[in-house]
Chains A and B, each alone.
Chain A
């Protein structure tokens, strides 16, 4: 592409690229377009091989002039991947394997018939669904942050330009003053998508009010909240949109340098972002005097190195500066004194990805979506015990019921819903009684949880509330940076107390002590990691007091998860004496008794020499191999 030096030139490129992309999607270029999901989830299921195989098959049939193939970003519906989508028909094939490629080429691309076996099947109606938009998972979604994801080729600047790319940048730097940009963002009501929920416009205004020779925009892509992967998918699916958001931020408060801080665990996101930056530099969309204006901007990438606390903005800044990622006291806030002592705004990936929409379409359109205190849409990473695992972008104010049942398709195996954890290790769980609560920043906090970055992990009746709290505590223990003693030592002590509870050694006094210590950690920590460290414990204690009680008084784990509090038993009335369990047992603790076993085939006599088995509880390590192997339903855990 030639350099883009003026607004008119950009306009022309946008027009041309839009026409090309539309022709591709509508088939008016005389070709059919095949796109393959290139998100991390689908790549793990061989989507790269699928793309290669498609190209090979198409070449073998001499169809190169009639069909194009490329990869796109995440479709979001990761549990059904890998996806292959065909334009202009809009046919979505799911769970595609390399061996299905021949069929897709011969039957669909050549024969013009749909490969019925690769279509999504609605679990309730059992009907096959051909088009993506007709799948329930997608029906309630509005894609603002995920704009262009699963549609454009994230490696091609041309496709980004063809799908609204850089219209907002052009509008901002050629027709608006920096203050007008900030006012627009303020008017949209957008709040930080990374967890804190601080109004983005106000953050920018603070930085704009400070006079300095150098200011920085930092994009927080250190998505450490386990179970959340929206930032990764946005960076993988449309990196240009995030860079555009960052540039608009830079223009608004006067920064000419931007840093992306991305987790090293996300290699695909990093390489696509790197490529996008380089391609933009080549055409002059990054660099000096962008579009012939006075606005200059450069973007850089810094990699994380596996420390959860670096998601905290001041710790992140220390990490960029090459230090241990420990939080700094605030004030001074980064907007006043941030990276290398200069005014800095740290914005989350998802926040920046929504900025172009606000500028392009107007604050009013964004503010029309959502609730009173929380405007726009939010991406949730729906995971755990739910049928449709994946990324969903829904208006703020959507209820948990809609999220879990309408979009998520309910709980697998008709199990009973127990709780949903939002906000990751800093959040809390919400239960049955909260299912009809509209989700926004304030309602979640009012109910003892928080929005966090948007992780939403569903748990069913087989998950133990105490065990989940124990899991989060081990995470926080590992990830506490060690600066503040209440967090460093307190979380360790909390973890030990919880371990006692899960092992049946806890008492009611342990529970009281835990509550007291939780408060101390909360009050005595510098950053949000420590201040929220005890949330998972407090929230599960509030919601499931009877479960904690069962652990300490009856020494039972009602969900049969905590190993020390449960036992496996063989029901002698059902055991046929097949010996499979005793052969599977790694510690040889299953023995025969003198009770004659039940017949293997009902109605027939017992085979001679077959006796019922029993488990020696003193030796059992509770691995569950016996239960997993038994084909006669003779083993139970209680």
Chain B
């Protein structure tokens, strides 16, 4: 896969912006993940050239942390909290409902590239259990019944756009 020239430049700029920091790899990876949504091997090679850190080491770090992704994620990341407080209030059923309605397992993305289901760890919204977060927006007290409506909400948003 060829990386677009503007992306190559963007990644290089990110590397440059942390040039004065000691051990900047985590910061670079966070910034790239945030800006482009994933960190494929080709991008890791650019980071390696800029920082002098071997690609093997960068790959090791990327695959260690759950925030970094090798593949693109869906436009809407449906993060359902499976922290303890949410789990004891049946958030697993919410995950199952999303899985059955969208036909994908947690960690997978729908074919249209719209949705990714993620079972996430505690987001600290324990009073709102079971909670979920969609692209950063927190949905409180989600029940399996609401799952269909939530999916519709985002599908409609797409249809309008």
Candidates A78, A266, A455, A471; contact of B87 at CB < 8 Å: A471
Question: Would you call A319 and B140 a contact (CB within 8 A)?
Answer: no
Candidates B26, B64, B66, B131; contact of A44 at CB < 8 Å: B131
Question: Would you call B26 and A302 a contact (CB within 8 A)?
Answer: yes
Q: Is A166 an interface position by the 8 A CB rule? A: no
A416 CB, min distance to chain B CBs, angstroms: 15
Question: Would you call B64 and A325 a contact (CB within 8 A)?
Answer: yes
Find chain A residues with CB under 8 A from B128 CB.
Answer: 41, 44-45, 78
Q: Is A267 an interface position by the 8 A CB rule? A: yes
Find chain A residues with CB under 8 A from B36 CB.
Answer: none
Cα–Cα distance between A384 and B128 once the two chains are bound (Å): 10
Of all chain A residues, the one with the shortest Cβ separation from B53 is A322
Find chain A residues with CB under 8 A from B93 CB.
Answer: 624
Q: Is B139 an interface position by the 8 A CB rule? A: yes
Question: Would you call A307 and B60 a contact (CB within 8 A)?
Answer: no
Cα–Cα distance between A424 and B83 once the two chains are bound (Å): 10
A221 CB, min distance to chain B CBs, angstroms: 11
Candidates A79, A265, A321, A323; contact of B127 at CB < 8 Å: A79
Q: Is B124 an interface position by the 8 A CB rule? A: yes
Interface residues in A339-395 by Cβ distance below 8 A to B read 340, 381, 383-385, 389-390
Of all chain B residues, the one with the shortest Cβ separation from A319 is B26
Question: Would you call B129 and A321 a contact (CB within 8 A)?
Answer: no
Question: Would you call B121 and A308 a contact (CB within 8 A)?
Answer: yes
Question: Would you call A340 and B66 a contact (CB within 8 A)?
Answer: no
Interface residues in B88-129 by Cβ distance below 8 A to A read 88-89, 93, 96, 100, 120-129
Q: Is A435 an interface position by the 8 A CB rule? A: no
Of all chain B residues, the one with the shortest Cβ separation from A321 is B23
Cα–Cα distance between A254 and B155 once the two chains are bound (Å): 57
Find chain B residues with CB under 8 A from A506 CB.
Answer: none
Q: Is A25 an interface position by the 8 A CB rule? A: no
Q: Is A40 an interface position by the 8 A CB rule? A: yes
Of all chain B residues, the one with the shortest Cβ separation from A44 is B138
Find chain A residues with CB under 8 A from B85 CB.
Answer: 226-227, 383-384, 389, 457
Q: Is A282 an interface position by the 8 A CB rule? A: no
Cα–Cα distance between A308 and B67 once the two chains are bound (Å): 12
Question: Would you call B88 and A463 a contact (CB within 8 A)?
Answer: yes
Q: Is A264 an interface position by the 8 A CB rule? A: yes
B29, B85, B93: most-surrounded residue (chain A CB, <10 A): B85
Q: How many residues of B contact A (CB 8 A)?
A: 43
Find chain B residues with CB under 8 A from A229 CB.
Answer: 122, 124-126
Q: Is A421 an interface position by the 8 A CB rule? A: yes
Cα–Cα distance between A308 and B65 once the two chains are bound (Å): 9
Q: What number of A-B contacts does a CB cutoff of 8 Å give? A: 132
Cα–Cα distance between A265 and B125 once the two chains are bound (Å): 11
Q: Is A306 an interface position by the 8 A CB rule? A: yes
Question: Would you call B124 and A322 a contact (CB within 8 A)?
Answer: no
Give 1 or 0 for each of A524-554: 1 = CB within 8 Å of chain B CB: 0000000000000000000000000000000
Question: Would you call B67 and A381 a contact (CB within 8 A)?
Answer: no
Question: Would you call A455 and B26 a contact (CB within 8 A)?
Answer: no
Candidates B67, B126, B138; contact of A264 at CB < 8 Å: B67
Question: Would you call B84 and A306 a contact (CB within 8 A)?
Answer: no
Question: Would you call A45 and B64 a contact (CB within 8 A)?
Answer: no
Q: Is A303 an interface position by the 8 A CB rule? A: yes
Of all chain A residues, the one with the shortest Cβ separation from B58 is A322
Q: Is A586 an interface position by the 8 A CB rule? A: yes
Cα–Cα distance between A78 and B129 once the two chains are bound (Å): 11
Interface residues in A452-472 by Cβ distance below 8 A to B read 455, 457, 459, 463, 468, 471-472
Question: Would you call A390 and B127 a contact (CB within 8 A)?
Answer: yes
Find chain B residues with CB under 8 A from A267 CB.
Answer: 136
Of all chain A residues, the one with the shortest Cβ separation from B51 is A322
Cα–Cα distance between A56 and B10 once the two chains are bound (Å): 40
Question: Would you call A324 and B66 a contact (CB within 8 A)?
Answer: no
Find chain A residues with CB under 8 A from B66 CB.
Answer: 305-307
Find chain B residues with CB under 8 A from A322 CB.
Answer: 23-26, 53, 61
Q: Is A562 an interface position by the 8 A CB rule? A: no
Give 1 or 0 for each of B117-161: 1 = CB within 8 Å of chain A CB: 000111111111101000011111000000000000000000000
Q: Is B30 an interface position by the 8 A CB rule? A: yes
Cα–Cα distance between A368 and B85 once the two chains are bound (Å): 33
Question: Would you call B22 and A340 a contact (CB within 8 A)?
Answer: yes
Residues of A within 8 A of B (CB): 40-41, 43-45, 78-79, 81, 223-229, 232, 264-267, 302-308, 319-325, 340, 381, 383-385, 389-390, 421, 424, 455, 457, 459, 463, 468, 471-472, 475, 481, 586, 623-624
Q: Enumerate 9 A-B pairs (CB-CB under 8 Å) in ascending A order.
A: A40-B138, A44-B137, A226-B82, A229-B124, A304-B67, A306-B67, A325-B64, A383-B129, A424-B84
